[in-house]
Amino acid sequence: MLRSAAVLFLTLTSFVAAWSTYVVPHSPGADDTPAFLAGVANHTSNTTILFSKGVTYNIFTPIVFPVLTNVEIAIEGNLTYPQDIPTIQGSTSSVSYVSDLFSFSGGTNVTLRGTLDPEWGWVDGHGQAWWDANNQVNRPHGWAFSKINGGVIRDMKLWKPIAWNFATSGSSNIHAFNNRIFALSNSKNSFPFNTDGFSASGLNMLFENNHIQNGDDCLTVGSGGKNIHFSLLRPLGEGGHGLSIGSLGKNGAVADVQNVLCVSSCVKNTLYGARFKSWTGGNGLARNVTWRDIFFTNVPFPIYVTQNYWDQGIGPRPNTSSTNNTHIQDFTFQNFVGTIEDVPYVEGSCVSNPCWYAVPGATGKEVIILDLYPGTATHVLAKRIFAVTETGARVAAMCNATAVIGDVGFKCQNGPFIPTLAGLL
């Protein structure tokens, strides 16, 4: 009897020990980060870390999660950043670099989730004040979901972040879905600069059904990105800078990007649709990248590839004596349907003359621009590209035949967009 009671007791305690819930404490008016960090140290595995519904947590200083194993972080309450700019600048510059408000130190099987409740589960960055002041000093990033093997980011809801949202560098086997990023300004005179949606540079990632309204790349794949699959399906990307690879090869860096597939996405009022950018003088390779089934509305640069990237807002194209360049190989743009505005569009991020995104010689009606470096781009193909301007006028292309190898699916010229047979098949 005694023995079986002891066995039962042991069974129960081991059952209890198997999964715990850490309810994050809250002190009204105070920064909740220190108490969170003190408590989470004992809850790094087989745990649900719960930010409770009904509570608005003050995340006034950055959270660095310890290494986590089998952990679910459930954001069911609201989280708020400090509302004033200097407080954030002070707390982020006191760490060694302008950091992330939330960063992960690695781990296995980590789920970061919000809720479907429209009232709760928001992370409020109070970014509007930063955008209004055009303050770009010591801006923190949002969520560095780094060095996680086996991770889920779902149902997260970010409201007016200060700048960058999610990054997944060094992680692998990640599924990010049903996330909501709202980074649209309430004023035409203040732009939500650098509010990138997902910065992906890890291995085996699936991004789907995320709804992103922002002022920079919806998705950007950086060097190291391999097997990245992105689809938006019905929720769309709005206001931002499209589905991007790069920029790669800055200051001679060696890039490595492989097997990227962006499918079934709608982009609306974005500056770019599909975009690739690498800097002159870079090294390395981006290969096997496909954008397919992309629907666009009012997008000035539906397809834009440049191996000569630089920021026109800062000055003239940098001179380089390097004969190296980031190579591109097997790039496919397939099934693009949409419209371009008739009047060249001035996007809110254009605060210099010329705009950082100006393309010398462009008419504003180019459905595709291939700005390639001679001898370094192979198998680039655009097929079944259907676009008109809003009033039904013909669209154009920019393409330098001396830099292009083979049939790119349209007549390679600066002029009307005329598909070749390969571009229609």
Which residues are catalytic, by number?
Answer: 216, 241
DSSP code of residue 10: H
Rank residues 310 and 338 by Cβ distance to ligand NAG and give the closer one: 310
DSSP assignment of 90-108 = HHHHSSSSS-EEEEE--EE
Q: What type of residue is 107?
A: G
Rank residues 31 and 124 by Cβ distance to ligand NAG and give the closer one: 124
Measure Cα distances from 257 to 227, 409, 421 in Å.
9, 23, 29
**Contacts to ligand NAG by CB under 6 A:** 18, 38-39, 42, 45-46, 70, 72, 78, 109, 111, 119-120, 122, 124, 159, 227, 252, 259, 261, 283, 288, 315-316, 318-319, 322, 324, 374, 400, 402-403
CB of residue 322 to ligand NAG, shortest distance in Å? 4
- Tokens matching residue 1: 């009897």
- Residue with the two structure tokens 């292309």: 397
- Tokens matching residue 16: 């209890």
Tell me how far apart the alpha carbons of residues 364 and 337 are, in angstroms, rounded to a whole number.
Answer: 17
392-398 CB contacts, 8 Å cutoff, 24+ apart: 393/342, 393/365, 394/365, 395/340, 395/365, 395/366, 395/367, 396/363, 396/365, 396/366, 396/367, 397/366, 397/367, 397/368, 397/369, 397/370, 398/359, 398/361, 398/362, 398/366, 398/368, 398/369, 398/370, 398/371
Task: Identify which of 178, 145, 168, 271 has the alpha carbon closest to the alpha carbon of residue 221.
Answer: 168
CB of residue 298 to ligand NAG, shortest distance in Å? 27
How many separate helices (H) and strands (E) can be counted in the chain?
5, 31
Rank residues 167 and 263 by Cβ distance to ligand NAG and give the closer one: 263
CB of residue 398 to ligand NAG, shortest distance in Å? 8
Rank residues 126 and 389 by Cβ distance to ligand NAG and give the closer one: 126
CB of residue 287 to ligand NAG, shortest distance in Å? 8
Which residues, other chains included, contact 356 with Cβ-Cβ below 8 Å and sequence gap of 6+?
311, 312, 313, 314, 349, 350
First vs last C-alpha separation in the chain: 79
CB of residue 46 to ligand NAG, shortest distance in Å? 4
CB of residue 84 to ligand NAG, shortest distance in Å? 16
Rank residues 255 and 382 by Cβ distance to ligand NAG and give the closer one: 255
Rank residues 299 and 381 by Cβ distance to ligand NAG and give the closer one: 381
CB of residue 101 to ligand NAG, shortest distance in Å? 15
- Phi and psi at residue 40, to the nearest 5°: -70, -20
Tell me how far apart the alpha carbons of residues 58 and 56 are, in angstroms, rounded to a whole number.
Answer: 7
Quick check: 88 and 162 in contact, CB under 8 A?
yes
Tell me how far apart the alpha carbons of residues 394 and 68 are, in angstroms, rounded to a whole number.
Answer: 55
- Residue with the two structure tokens 């026109």: 312
Rank residues 281 and 338 by Cβ distance to ligand NAG and give the closer one: 281
